[in-house]
């Protein structure tokens, strides 16, 4: 059978390959994040990509879009109902409880980097496999609100280290469970007589998740909501004081933020402070980060009540709007190309051996021994090589190397050791 007419296969809809040279930017972003996490005392956790479906149903909430319609769930060969994780807070909380982290000295600070899966309609900035850099902080001192502030300060430190200058930080409070329950009741009472005028989604949410109606994008619904009771009026004293503390501390540390009373977030576990960081450069899917506090989730997933707060950055979106002058874009120079000139007695072996000598001296190198000069230049361009090194009969006789600087096109012949030192300087960090 002929193998030439097979159709080529492609990535699954909504998923994509991350390719060089962009992957170097991803790696640099992650390296920066790791450095900042270390500065704030966070250590890495790696949980499985597959979890029991029930974890998300209980953790994220049955009434949320994520659990209701976006999960990749299936039965495995043993009949277990499992799900590709759509987010990583519930898995990290599961791990915290499962491994008895509550017994460790608190706070326990964990970070993660990895893929998440949501069956959403793909569009710019929205993928079915996307990647998050996130953190969860468990336990708090006498004033839990300080944990919220510290997490926001970490985020500001990370984003400014990456070169961001004009991001908007939106904060709000959803209050504690008591405040939310009182508000939910008031909102349902207000909206029930208007249910006919709500769209299908919002009408469904009226029963399952009424707070989510607040962030509707439908103009007619937004109009209806103008007269709705506000969450701020339903905050109990404890919730009010918590948010007051967060705001004054953010002022004290000169973190620019806006209070957005409509910000409620799409996951059920939040209490108290919620936040999002948005970028103008992204269009409709403009949130590069979301997070907030959750004081009941550890208890709901079988642990002892523990105050916790965290966030997740969407790495795909972050890389998309990474400033042109971000330090994360300054990656190491590409490999030096080792080329042959003229007829060299031992043929390609000469450049093969020289490339290995260079690597042993810490210089990134590619052997281009068999290539003609045009192909050598093409390769140097494609690989962003700072140097092309030539060896020919003259160089072998004299114990020299000829270096060509690809940026200036200047060419110099130097004694071998000196040439190697010059190349090594380009790769020194
Ligand atoms: P989230 O708001 O669902 O929160 O997701 C966080 C970020 O992930 C979003 O701001 C966005 O940048 C990115 N993201 C979400 N869905 C997609 C998608 N389909 N394509 C591309 N990027 C996406 C959470 O996941 C919470 N676990 C955050 C958290 C941690 N809260 C407390 N701790």
Q: Around Cβ 371, how many Cβ atoms within 10 Å?
A: 17
CB 132 within 8 A of CB 87: yes
CB of 273 sitting under 6 A from ligand 1 = no
Question: What was the pLDDT predicted at 342?
Answer: 83
Half-sphere exposure of 84 (CA within 13 A, CB side): 13
Torsion 221-223-226-232 (CA) sign: positive
* Residue that the structure tokens 């503390």 belong to: 245
φ, ψ of residue 72 to 5 degrees: the values are -85, 95
Q: Relative to the CA of 265, which ligand 1 atom is closest?
A: 2
Alpha-carbon distance 396 to 103, whole Å? 67
Helices (runs of H) and strands (runs of E) counted in the chain? 15, 16
Nearest CA to ligand 1 atom 4: 290
The 10s digit of each residue's pLDDT in 106-164 is 999 999 999 999 999 999 999 999 999 999 999 998 999 999 999 999 999 999 999 99
Tens of pLDDT, residue by residue over 390-427, are: 999 999 999 999 999 999 999 999 999 999 999 999 99
Which two tokens mark 418?
Answer: 């000196």
User: In whole angstroms, how far apart are CA 162 and each of 36, 157, 308, 327?
Assistant: 11, 9, 26, 6
pLDDT in tens, the chain (429 residues): 556 678 999 999 999 999 999 999 999 999 999 999 999 999 999 999 999 999 999 999 988 899 999 999 999 999 999 999 999 999 999 999 999 999 999 999 999 999 999 999 999 999 999 999 999 999 998 999 999 999 999 999 999 999 999 899 999 999 999 999 999 999 999 999 999 999 988 998 898 889 889 878 889 998 989 889 989 999 999 999 999 999 999 999 999 999 998 898 989 999 999 999 999 878 888 899 999 999 999 999 999 999 999 999 999 999 999 999 999 998 778 999 999 988 766 666 889 999 999 999 999 999 998 898 899 999 999 999 999 999 999 999 999 999 999 999 999 999 999 999 999 999 987
pLDDT digits (tens, 9 = 90+) for 26-41: 999 999 999 999 999 9
Among 12, 51, 136, 290, the mutation site with the greatest number of ligand 1 atoms within 8 A of its Cβ is: 290
**pLDDT for the residue 149:** 98
DSSP 104: S
Q: What is the pLDDT of residue 285?
A: 82
> Is residue 132 within 6 Å of ligand 1 at its C-beta?
yes
Nearest CA-CA partner of 33 in 243, 283, 322, 305 = 322
Ligand 1 atom closest to 310 (CA): 33
**Residue to substitute in 87, 289, 310 for testing ligand 1 pocket (most ligand atoms within 8 angstroms of CB):** 87
pLDDT of residue 356: 97
Which residue CA neighbors atom 14 of ligand 1 most closely? Answer: 314
Q: Is the CB of 316 under 6 A from ligand 1?
A: yes
Could you give the count of Cα atoms lying within 13 Å of 164 in the half-sphere of its Cβ? 25
Which residues on adjacent β-strands are paired with residue 72? Answer: 84
Our CA angle for 210, 211, 213, nearest 5°, is: 70
Residue 177 is encoded by which pair of tokens?
């469970």
Beta carbons of 410 and 389 less than 8 angstroms apart: no
Tell me the C-alpha to C-alpha distance, in Å, between residue 206 and each of 186, 284, 416: 12, 24, 77
Distance 133 CA to ligand 1 centre (A): 9
- SS3 for 224-241 is HHCCCCCHHHHCCHHHHH
| Ligand 1 closest atom vs CA 312 | 28
Q: Of the candidates 115, 83, 84, which has an alpha carbon nearest to the alpha carbon of residue 16?
A: 115
Atom 2 in ligand 1: which residue has the minimum CA distance?
290
Q: Which pLDDT score, from 0 to 100, does residue 2 have?
A: 54
Separation between Cα atoms, residue 47 and residue 59, nearest integer Å: 15
φ/ψ of 405, rounded to 5, equals -80, 115
Contact in structure between 280 and 205 (CB atoms under 8 Å): no
């Amino acid at each position: 059978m002929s193998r030439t007419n097979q159709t080529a296969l492609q990535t699954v809809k909504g998923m994509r390959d991350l390719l060089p040279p962009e992957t170097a930017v991803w790696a640099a972003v992650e390296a920066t994040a790791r450095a900042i996490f270390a500065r704030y005392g966070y250590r890495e956790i790696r949980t499985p990509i597959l979890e029991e479906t029930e974890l998300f149903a209980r953790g994220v909430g049955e009434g949320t879009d994520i659990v209701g319609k976006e999960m990749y769930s299936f039965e495995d060969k043993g009949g277990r109902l499992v799900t590709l994780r759509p987010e990583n807070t519930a898995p990290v909380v599961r791990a915290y409880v499962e491994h008895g982290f509550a017994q460790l000295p608190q706070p326990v600070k964990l970070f993660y980097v990895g893929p998440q899966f949501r069956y959403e309609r793909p569009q710019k900035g929205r993928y079915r496999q996307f990647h998050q850099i996130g953190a969860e902080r468990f336990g708090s001192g006498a004033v839990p609100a300080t944990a919220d502030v510290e997490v926001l300060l970490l985020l500001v430190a990370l984003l400014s280290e990456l070169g961001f200058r004009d991001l908007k930080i939106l904060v709000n409070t959803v209050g504690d469970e008591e405040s939310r329950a009182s508000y939910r009741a008031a909102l349902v009472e207000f909206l029930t007589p208007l249910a006919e005028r709500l769209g299908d989604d919002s009408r469904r949410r009226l029963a399952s998740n009424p707070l989510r109606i607040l962030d509707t994008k439908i103009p007619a619904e937004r109009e209806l909501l103008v007269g709705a009771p506000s969450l701020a009026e339903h905050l109990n004293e404890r919730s009010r004081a918590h948010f007051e503390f967060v705001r004054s501390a953010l002022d004290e540390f000169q973190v620019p933020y806006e209070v957005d009373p409509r910000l409620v977030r799409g996951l059920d576990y939040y209490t108290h402070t919620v936040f999002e960081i948005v970028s103008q450069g992204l269009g409709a899917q403009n949130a590069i980060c979301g997070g907030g506090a959750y004081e009941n989730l550890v208890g709901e997933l079988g642990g002892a009540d523990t105050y916790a707060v965290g966030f997740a950055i969407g790495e795909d979106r972050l890389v998309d709007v990474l400033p042109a002058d971000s330090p994360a874009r300054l990656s190491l120079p590409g490999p030096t190309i080792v080329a042959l000139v003229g007829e060299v007695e031992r043929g390609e072996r000469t450049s093969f051996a020289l490339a290995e000598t260079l690597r042993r001296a810490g210089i990134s190198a590619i052997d281009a021994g068999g290539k003609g000069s045009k192909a050598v230049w093409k390769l140097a361009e494609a690989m962003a090589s700072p140097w092309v090194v030539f060896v020919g009969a003259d160089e072998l006789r004299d114990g020299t190397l000829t270096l060509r600087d690809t940026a200036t096109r200047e060419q110099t012949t130097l004694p071998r050791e000196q040439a190697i030192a010059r190349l090594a300087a380009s790769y020194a960090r």
